[in-house]
Amino acid sequence: MLKSQRGFSLLEVFISLVIGLVIFAGVLSLFVAMQTTTRETSSYGELQENGRFAISVLSDDLLRQDFWGDYSGFVDLSSINPVPSPPAGECVGGGINNGTFPLATGHFRTLWGETVTAATILGGCRNDAKVDSDILQLKRVVSAPLVDGAGAPITIAPTGHFYFVSNINHGSIFSSGDVPVIENSQVWEYQHHIYYVREESIGANTIPVLMQGQLTNKLSFSPIIDGIEVIRFEYGVDMQIDPTVTGYGIVDAYISANSMTDVLWDNATSRIISVKVYVLARSIEPDEKYKNTNTYQLGDFSYTANDHYRRLLFSSTVTLYNARVDSW
């Protein structure tokens, strides 16, 4: 005799479905939480990488600021001559002698900065700067002297760049061809760097980028680091330039770019001997589940966010070892 076959009752089916839904909801919530954590971790990792890279680039350039090889004097036309004509695309900073090469009038500024108040900067050289960020301008030579394949000083400079030949007392800047004859001299590549921040539109998103201007046969600009929203600098000024007086070689005040004066930039009655660097890095894409209302302090400048981007603030203090201070 066959036994009757019975399936699940309707109540049992409903109970099974409820239990399954509870388990599924738990797994789904865990997946969403893991996805959110992964996205946040990736975003902060990107911020760390971009911010530290920006600090490294700016700090390394500042560490070598005002390096002129064997030459030990101030860079002006009384000792550095002749000099070439300004390169194509030249950007001129504030002051009467702040182009790529020294002029006959005024103090030649090898270090200079400014806080951006309008998109057009550097005498109209650029028209895409981000307001409230800083410009940084540096002139120096590349650290290693140029030598030929045998390790001897070069006699003919490569084309496409500018060069500085000097001994301890005298120098000259040239572009190519025969090296100007200066006794007991060496040759270095001449460099003019400019940093600022601009914003680029990519689809519906706006991305801030750190720009670098670099001198080759002309001054040309390119983006080097994405996600850098603001750069700011404070310049450490030593008001005492007499080494026989107490306080020589010590920072008396850190001054923001928009508070620096022509006298301070000229380094005639004071010295800029260090720089504080502030970099505010921002995530490339917004996260609608995250609301940023933080305030970030970059020296004397406060930046308050009100959007869905994550940010990290980086800072560093750089000693200018070529600032003509005999002792620290």
The pair of three-digit structure tokens given for residue 237, joined into one six-digit string = 């000024």
pLDDT digits (tens, 9 = 90+) for 2-34: 555 666 677 777 787 788 788 877 777 776 666
Length of the chain: 328
What is the mean predicted confidence (pLDDT) over 31-56? 79
Query: Average pLDDT for residues 59-76, to the nearest whole number?
Result: 93
Residue 326 main-chain phi, psi, to 5 deg: -75, -30
Contacts of 37 (CB under 8 A, 6+ apart): none
**What is the dihedral angle through the alpha carbons of 203, 208, 213, 218, rounded to the nearest 10 degrees?**
20
The burial of 308, by beta-carbon neighbours within 10 Å (0-12 exposed, 13-18 middle, 19 or more buried), is given as: middle
Q: Please tell me the least confidently modeled range out of 46-55, 67-76, 171-180.
A: 171-180
Residue 68 has pLDDT above 60, yes or no: yes
d(CA 328, CA 326) in angstroms, rounded, equals: 7
Q: How many CB atoms lie within 10 A of CB 269?
A: 10
The tokens for 151 are: 């390790």
- Check residue 159 and give its pLDDT: 64
C-alpha closest to that of 304 among 313, 314, 55, 288: 313
Distance, in Å, from the CA atom of 275 to the CA atom of 71, rounded to the nearest integer, reads 23
- The average pLDDT across 157-168 equals 81
Residues whose CB falls within 8 Å of the CB of residue 265, separated by 6 or more in sequence, listed in order: 94, 95, 107, 109, 111, 112, 272
The Cα 38–Cα 214 span in angstroms is 37
List the domain boundaries for the chain. Answer: 36-319
Q: Is the pLDDT of residue 57 over 90?
A: yes
More confident residue, 231 or 12: 231
* Weakest mean pLDDT among 87-101, 166-180, 204-218: 166-180
The strand pairing partners of 232, in sequence order, are 278
The amino acid occupying position 23 is: I
pLDDT at 208: 97
Burial of 137 (0-12, 13-18, 19+ CB in 10 A): buried
Residue 172 predicted with pLDDT over 90? yes
pLDDT in tens, 257-304: 999 999 999 988 899 999 999 999 999 989 888 999 999 999 999 999
Tell me the per-residue pLDDT of 112-132, one tens digit each, with 9 for 90 and over: 999 999 999 999 999 999 999
DSSP 8-state assignment for residue 85: P
Q: What is the pLDDT of residue 327?
A: 47
Contact residues for 264 (Cβ-Cβ < 8 A; gap 6+): 235, 237, 255, 270, 272
d(C-alpha 306, C-alpha 165), whole Å: 52
Burial grade of 88 (CB within 10 A; 0-12, 13-18, 19 or more): exposed
Residue 242's pLDDT is what? Answer: 81
pLDDT of 157 above 60: no
pLDDT of 252 over the 80 cut? yes
pLDDT reported for residue 21: 80
Joined tokens for residue 160: 């496409």
Task: State the pLDDT at residue 153.
Answer: 55
Read off the DSSP letter of residue 43. H
Mean pLDDT of the chain: 88
